[in-house]
Structures are given as C-alpha cells and as structure tokens.
Amino acid sequence: MEKVIFEGRILAETGIYQPSPVKGREGDNLSLSVAVQTEDGWQVVRVPVISGNTIRAILRDNISKDILFKFDNIDDFDLVNIMLSGGTIEKTDVLAPDKLALIEEFRRKNVVVSLFGGAHPKLGIMAGKLISHYALPLVKETAHLLGMSPEQLLPAFKVTDEIGFIRKDDLNSPDVLQLVSSEVIQRYQELIEQAIETKKKREEEKKKQKLQAEMKKKGIEVEAVEEIEVKEINEEKVKKQAFIQMIQTHQYIVAGTEFVHKLVVCSPDDKEIGALLTGFSYFAKHPYIGSAKSRGFGRIRFSYTVTVDGKKAFDFKNKDIGHLLWVNHDDEYSFERFIRAYEEYRDGLKSFRDINI
C-alpha cells in the first residue's frame, strides 16, 4: 500500500474548548488564519479549528496503552516517554550509518514509533508515517477550501461563544468548618488573610497605574510625584473576591458545529492501519477532546471513510459511547483484515524489549 487516507466528519455534540497556546489569547479557542475572497478582495480571517495534533495524540496514547498494558515492570523510561509523550530531544553520538539502521529496526519493532515518530536520546528525531490535518469547521469562510457552497453555511463568528467559570472556596462553608480541627481552621484563616492582603495590594497597584496613566495624559511628569494617593479600597469587596479562587472566561465552539478532518498514512503495512483502527475503537469509548471535559465540554461524534491507494475500502463511526461500527466496501481491504494483522502483532509481543532497541 502506498497511501491510505482517512477522510472524516467530526460533530461537536457539546461545546468544545481548546485553549489557544498563543500568549495573550489564553482564553480564546484555538483558531487558524485562512484567506477568504470577499467583495473587497482577499482577506485573512481566523476560524476555530480542532488541532490535528490533538487527534493524533489521542490515537497515539490509545495504541501505546493497548500495547504497554501487556507488560509489567517496564524499566525503560525512554521507551515509555517516546510512546506516550513523543520523547525528549537530546544530543546523540550515534554515527549516521548506525543511526539509520537502528531507526529502521525501531520502526519495524514498534508500530507506535513507525506511525507517530518521536525523539529518542540515541537516535534523535524520527519522522512518522502519519499526517493529521487540522479539522476545519463547515463555515462560510472555509467552504472554498472544502469544495462546498457557502450559501447554506454559517459564518465562523456564529459557531463560537463565551462562557465564564467560577470556582469558589467551599472550605468557608459552616458545614465543612465544623468537621475540621482548630489547627486547620487557623491555617485556613491565615491563608485567607494573606489572600486579602495580596488582593488589596493588587487593587492599589491597579489604581496607581490608572492614576499614573491619567496624569501622563495631562502632561504631568509621573516621575516627579513621590507618592500617588489612592482612594480607600473597599475591604468587603476585596474580602469577597479573596474567597473566589478562580474566575475564567473561555471561548468555545458551540454544540452542533461540524468539522472536516483528514488523516494520511504513507506506505503503511496492515498492522499499522489496524493499530490506528484500534486507537479509534478506544476513542469511541471516550469520545472527548479539548479541555473542560469535567464541565461537560468536548464530547464528539465521528465518522470516517478509508481509501487504500484511491480505492474505497470501508467506513466506520462511533454510534454511541463505547461502540465503533464499520461497513466494508472492498473484500480485499476489509476492516477485519487490518485489525487481525495488528492483533497478531500485539499478541506476539512477549516482552517490552520486543518493541525496543
């Protein structure tokens, strides 16, 4: 097989929140810039996406656990690290000819390394066979990229919204306080006093900065003023805020938004495709992506069509939590063929050394 392609749809059954890694956008959902042709010419806009690396990481972890759970007392950190986390980059002293031979051996023995690659202390960075694209939303701005008509689609700004999360300090509850010792209560009161003092200082600093900005606007030299008078801080307001440990506002993708996703595997063997299908089988048991899952975010439904060298092989989807359903379209490249090849490989492993170098 030269190329196997997984083309799929992902439906957000609940809101999806994936925090942006960009500094200054921590409360925003992950987004990607795309070029869009408008009446005024081409413009660049941002659309919410599901990271291809997110899906890739879920599949890698699922396959790795399926293999590693066979063994007891795995004492090789580098092996576990590369399979579950992608490894660690370090300087390697292995000579190039030996390195290439070792990499090929590692890939042959370890299906996870072959598919996903990673970094190994002795071998450096190794590429994997799997390419996971960003999942693009079905919105007006992406219609031309997906070969669809934009008329029936919503604009990108309508598939995102914001929600606030507040976590309060329940230790302040009388019902809880009567259950703990006086030492715990005393320690708790000390922490609250520290929190109030810290909050007060922050409020004072904010007011000073605001006053300094106003003075600068009016042309008054801030450096010449030794002390800026700050109006009295509302102690009750500060005390109330001190009991709130965390207030966050998150942008999220609304439920009902649909995405188009593609995985491409170059020159795979049967067990590698079977490993990916096993990864999806575990994914069907816990079909959640992104953050804030404990608050009900991230549940999805997915469906994929798999083609082998341009030939439609089978479809699969998660019907309900825990169930992966498939339909074969080709007797040669059936779903069962690939699963069987992977299970024979996995069941033939007797020791974690069988997947290591």
Q: How far apart are CA 313 and CA 269, in angstroms?
A: 15
**pLDDT given at position 223:** 54
pTM: 0.77
H-state helical runs in the chain: 52-68, 77-85, 96-109, 111-116, 143-146, 174-177, 182-217, 235-242, 270-285, 335-347
User: For the chain, which ranges sit under pLDDT 50?
Assistant: 224-226, 242-244
- Phi-psi group of 341: left, alpha or beta (phi > 0 → left; psi -120 to 50 → alpha; rest → beta): alpha
Q: Do residues 273 and 265 make contact, with C-beta atoms less than 8 angstroms apart? A: yes
pLDDT, residue 88, reads 79
Distance of CA 44 to the CA centre of its chain: 24
What is the pLDDT, as a whole number, of residue 68? 92
Q: Which two tokens stand for residue 313?
A: 């092989």
Comparing CA positions, the residue from 46, 261, 22, 5 lying closest to residue 129 is: 5
Residue 93: its pLDDT value, please? 58
- Which pairs count as long-range contacts for 102-108, CB under 8 Å and 24+ apart, including other chains? 102/357, 105/357, 106/356, 106/357
Residue bearing tokens 């019907």 = 319
Contact by Cβ (8 Å): 44, 267: no
Please answer whether residues 335 and 262 qualify as being in contact, where contact means their C-beta atoms are separated by less than 8 angstroms.
Answer: no
